[in-house]
Amino acid sequence: MDFRQLQSFVAVVQYGSFTTAASKLGISQPTVSTHVRMLEEELGKPLVLRTAKRVDLTASGRKVYEQAVSVLVMYDRILHDGQTREKETIYIGTSSIPSAYILPEALAEFGESHPEVRFVVSQDDSQGVVNGLMDGLFDIGFVGMEAGEDTLECVPFCKDTIVIATANNERFASVDPDDAEQVMGLLESEHLILRKSGSATRAVTDRIFDDAGIDESQTQVVARLNDQESIKNLVECGLGITLMSACAVTDLVDTSRLRVFPVPNVDTSRYFYILRRKNAHLDACSEELFSFMRLRFSDSM
């Protein structure tokens, strides 16, 4: 087993395609296939299910993927520290919503006043970020759920709301957003696209179903995935509807590509949290970023 095999395997999972993984890594598709096959042979178990249209993980593959991501992050950290010792570096773990819709503008703003700082950002689901912090992979984490770990300081810094997102077509144009029964009926009658377990959005979705008395086993779930952009694209194309962070769909609502409905009679609010280890000393730059993020978004609380 070597890092090339792990890199190829992780890339295949992240991009959902051997061809795309090869392109991102700058190597040939047969090479990526060989790396994954050799890894499977060495571990003595299949890691991915290959179909004509996509790549899915086996149960064993999911476990190996989580471990492989941790190994590669640690490898990158060691390599980066060795190459940039003279530079201040902050290692950040983040779930998908903060990564795409909160951190880009905030880190750019922080970077303007701290030009010496470098960021190493790794994206995972909320539970993966929590695990990475406890393992010492990250200095700071950003997630959409409370950590629930005594060793971590977990501070809410930004408020969010979960909404129902649908395609913007005649089918949903007739739905009255003020008609609670009609809106809630969408979750029971329409095809659903849901996040996988481990994400904060999925945790809020489960809470919404419980509060509304909806049995998920009786709904029509057509897809489960964690890539936010893929979910939005599938909703826009009409595969189904979804429950999603309001900040994640603002751009598509503004351009009339999606339609959103508030979930009636249910508390759909949630917070994003900034995390750090209680027993670890952060360097000055990491401490400044921690304070900066709390202050910058204080008005949203």
Per-residue model confidence as pLDDT tens digits over 129-158: 998 898 888 999 999 888 888 899 999 998
From the number of C-beta atoms within 10 Å of its C-beta (0-12, 13-18, 19+), residue 291 rates as exposed
Q: Would 148 be classed as within a structural domain?
A: no
Q: How far apart are the first and last CA of the chain?
A: 47
Q: Would 278 be classed as within a structural domain?
A: no
Integer CA distances (angstroms), 292 to 93, 139, 215, in order: 17, 15, 41
Q: Would 145 be classed as within a structural domain?
A: no
The dihedral built from the CA positions of residue 72, 77, 82 and 84, taken in this order, carries a sign that is positive
Q: Would 97 be classed as within a structural domain?
A: no
Residue 179 sits in a domain whose CATH number is 3.40.190.10
Look at residues 19, 34, 69 and tell me which one is the last residue of a structural domain. Answer: 69
Q: Would 174 be classed as within a structural domain?
A: yes
Domain that holds residue 188: 159-270
Alpha-carbon distance of 183 to 185, in angstroms, equals: 5
pLDDT (tens digit per residue) in 110-123: 999 999 899 999 98
Structure tokens at 210: 């419980």
Structure tokens at 198: 């481990």
Q: At which residue do the structure tokens 């795309």 appear?
A: 20
Number of helical (H) and strand (E) elements in the chain, helices listed first: 13, 11
Alpha-carbon distance of 160 to 144, in angstroms, equals: 9
Q: Would 99 be classed as within a structural domain?
A: no
**Residue 274 bridge partners (DSSP):** 142, 155
Alpha-carbon distance of 261 to 69, in angstroms, equals: 36
pLDDT (tens digit per residue) in 176-207: 999 999 999 999 999 999 988 877 888 889 99
Confidence of residue 85 (pLDDT cuts 50, 70, 90): very low
Mention every residue, 6+ apart, whose C-beta is less than 8 A from residue 179.
Answer: none
Residue 24 sits in a domain whose CATH number is 1.10.10.10
H-run or E-run covering 29: helix 29-43
Task: Judge if pTM exceeds 0.75.
Answer: no
pLDDT confidence of residue 300: 65
Radius of gyration of the chain (CA): 21
Look at residues 14, 47, 69 and tell me which one is the last residue of a structural domain. Answer: 69
* Helix (H/G/I), strand (E/B), else coil: 271: strand
* Helix (H/G/I), strand (E/B), else coil: 89: strand
Q: Would 102 be classed as within a structural domain?
A: no
* Number of independent structural domains in the chain: 2
Question: Percentage of the chain surpassing pLDDT 90?
Answer: 43
Residue 93 pLDDT > 60: yes
